[in-house]
């Protein structure tokens, strides 16, 4: 059992014998487990991501940090799950100066660090700004609701607003809204900045964090929320307009992943760059789109905002030519909080103590002994507050003031049959872990139901 009560910001130690790879993490927004061709999607075209999978390793049991944006990203950056990290829900809370991120770790080891896209962990003038959390360069959205709008009137460069030529008649306080004049698509600007960052830093180790906003909906636009410059190859499909938009957005992102991969080849840094691709949570049912239309959760139950498998199991593809076996697949069970120690392992540096995460570099490289989690823990502060645990290939969930629900994922991967009454021993252990695996939080309190079945 891995128990964590605190963590410390220790200086990183570079291992001189390790050639440090460039590290790229591309994070899609609300992309489901079943939205890519390499994960079984039949209607949405994703040729470049499918090629990424054929040239690398595809994971089938990898989990997001949460089932909504901010806490999931917090676990990815800090190596702590939602029982220990600062940001456990979608409220506007800044990371603190004392919080330690993967960017700070890599920056301290000599990496050039850049973040382009949606941050969600800090506000203008606050301690959570990317530039105060280990990133040398930032361009994109700080606020999540601002990031709903693909045609905003401004984006943030480092710490300052950069005006755009879009017109939003009644913008919200954070810049959210619906543009009446759509001239500049924010995703295009973000991708150009990411490509420029690679161009400018290809001769030194770099960490590129690219949390794009596709295919999140513009929630302020109602049923017209799937904002994309054009519907592309889907324009003439006999589908509802929002579903055409969803498909077009995913294929649009796929095209840009292809552009980034080509950039690596053009700069002759392909074989010293490891690329991760994943999604922050399961597929949404917003902007007029329905995740069931494309079977975006695959065969899994649930979607965004649910701790069922469909809300938190996400695609993970990792490619490093010559290092990671091409066209390989892994059923290793991991989660977002494993990224920080994995990045440390790959870069040959020492991560800080007290992380919840475990490096899965041994799985990626086929070398060394892979440590396995005893369990994975989540808590979610919507729908009445819910805790979830993955343990012994069982999934346990508990709502506030309710009893534990238990599913055997081997026999019941769609989580339809509660077997808690048949496993009182495991239920008791789950209840103990639910208590042990979280530190107190004034912003996200939980009161435990201590009664057993």
- Give the number of other Cβ atoms within 10 Å of residue 432's Cβ: 11
Among 142, 65, 137, smallest CA distance to 107 is for 137
Domain residue limits, the chain: 22-373, 384-436
CB atoms within 10 A of CB 377: 24
How far is Cα of residue 294 from the mean position of the Cα atoms in its chain? 21
Please report the pLDDT score of residue 326 as a whole number: 99
Least confident among 11-20, 89-98, 312-321: 11-20
Q: Ramachandran region of residue 150, left (φ > 0), alpha (ψ -120 to 50) or beta?
A: alpha
Averaged pLDDT, 117-133:
98
pLDDT above 90: residue 12: no
* Helical residues (DSSP H) of 128-287, grouped into ranges: 186-201, 241-266
| pLDDT the model gives residue 18 | 59
Give the helix, strand, coil percentages of the chain, each rounded to 5. 30, 20, 55
Q: What are the pLDDT digits (tens) for 286-302?
A: 999 999 999 999 999 99
Q: Is 130 strand, coil or helix?
A: helix
Judged against a pLDDT cut of 60, whether residue 177 lies above it is answered with yes
- Mean pLDDT, the chain, whole residue set: 95
pLDDT at 292: 98
Higher pLDDT, 223 or 4: 223
Burial letters for 60-91: b for 16+ Cβ neighbours within 10 Å, e otherwise?
ebbbbbbbbbbbbbbbbbbbbbbbbbbbbbbe
pLDDT at residue 2 greater than cutoff 80: no
CB-based burial label for 189 (10 Å; 0-12, 13-18, 19+) = middle
**Segment 267-284 mean pLDDT:** 99
> Looking at residue 143, what is its pLDDT?
97
In this structure, which topology does domain 22-373 adopt according to CATH?
Answer: Alkaline Phosphatase, subunit A (3.40.720)
* The CATH number of domain 384-436 is 3.30.1120.10: yes
Residues β-bridged to residue 114:
137, 208
Band (pLDDT 50/70/90 cuts) for residue 384 is confident
| Average pLDDT of the segment spanning 82-103 | 97
Average pLDDT over residues 15-37: 89
For residue 319, pLDDT beyond 50: yes
Q: Give residue 396's pLDDT band: very low, low, confident or very high (50, 70, 90).
A: very high
Confidence band of 19 (pLDDT split at 50, 70, 90): confident
Burial (CB < 10 A; 0-12, 13-18, 19+), residue 310, is buried
Q: Which residues pair with 42 in a beta bridge?
A: none
Show Cβ contacts of residue 82 under 8 Å, excluding neighbours closer than 6 positions: 65, 66, 71, 74, 75, 88, 377, 378, 379, 380
Q: Are the C-beta atoms of 287 and 225 separated by less than 8 Å?
A: yes
- Asked if 22-373 and 384-436 have one fold, the answer is no
Asked if the model's pLDDT at residue 7 lies above 60, the reply is no
**Strand-pair category, 62-63 with 334-335:** parallel
Q: In what order do the strands lie in the sheet with 405-408?
A: 375-380, 386-391, 394-399, 405-408
DSSP E strand stretches across 195-234: 206-211
Reported as a single tens digit per residue, the pLDDT across 191-244 is 999 999 999 999 999 999 999 999 999 999 999 999 999 999 999 999 999 999
């Amino acid at each position: 059992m891995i128990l964590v009560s605190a963590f410390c910001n220790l200086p990183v130690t570079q291992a001189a014998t390790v050639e440090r790879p460039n590290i790229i993490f591309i994070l899609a927004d609300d992309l489901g487990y079943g939205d890519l061709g390499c994960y079984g999607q039949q209607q949405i075209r994703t040729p470049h991501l499918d090629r990424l999978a054929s040239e690398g390793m595809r994971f089938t049991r990898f989990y997001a940090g949460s089932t909504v944006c901010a806490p999931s990203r917090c676990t990815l950056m800090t190596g702590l799950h939602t029982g220990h990290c600062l940001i456990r829900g979608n409220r506007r809370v800044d990371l603190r100066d004392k919080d330690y991120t993967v960017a700070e770790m890599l920056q301290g080891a000599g990496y050039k660090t850049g973040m382009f896209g949606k941050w969600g962990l800090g506000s203008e003038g606050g301690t959570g700004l990317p530039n105060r959390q280990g990133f040398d360069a930032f361009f994109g959205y700080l606020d999540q609701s601002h990031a709903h709008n693909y045609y905003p009137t401004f984006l943030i460069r480092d710490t300052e607003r950069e005006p755009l030529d879009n017109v939003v008649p009644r913008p919200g306080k954070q810049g959210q809204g619906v543009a009446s004049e759509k001239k500049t698509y924010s995703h295009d600007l973000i991708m150009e900045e990411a490509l420029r960052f690679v161009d400018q830093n290809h001769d030194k180790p770099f960490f590129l964090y690219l949390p794009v906003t596709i295919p999140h909906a513009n929630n302020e636009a109602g049923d017209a929320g799937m904002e994309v410059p054009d519907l592309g190859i889907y324009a003439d499909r006999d589908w509802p307009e929002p579903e055409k938009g969803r498909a077009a957005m995913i294929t649009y992102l796929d095209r840009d992943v292809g552009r980034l991969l080509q950039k690596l080849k053009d700069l002759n840094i392909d074989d010293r760059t490891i690329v991760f691709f994943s999604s922050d949570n399961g597929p949404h049912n917003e902007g007029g789109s329905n995740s069931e239309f494309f079977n975006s959760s695959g065969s899994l139950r649930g979607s965004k905002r649910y701790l069922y498998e469909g809300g938190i199991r996400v695609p993970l593809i990792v490619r490093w030519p010559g290092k990671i076996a091409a066209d390989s697949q892994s059923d290793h069970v991991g989660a977002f909080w494993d990224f920080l120690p994995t990045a440390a392992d790959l870069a040959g540096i020492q991560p800080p103590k007290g992380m919840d995460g475990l490096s899965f570099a041994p799985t990626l490289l086929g070398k060394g002994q892979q440590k396995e989690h005893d369990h994975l823990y989540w808590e979610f502060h919507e729908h009445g507050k819910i805790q979830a645990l993955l343990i012994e290939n069982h999934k346990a969930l508990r709502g506030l003031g309710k009893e534990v629900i238990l599913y055997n994922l081997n026999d019941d991967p769609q989580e339809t049959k509660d077997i808690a009454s048949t496993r009182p021993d495991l239920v008791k252990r789950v209840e103990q872990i639910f208590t042990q695996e979280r530190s107190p939080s004034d912003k996200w309190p939980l009161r435990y139901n201590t009664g057993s079945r």
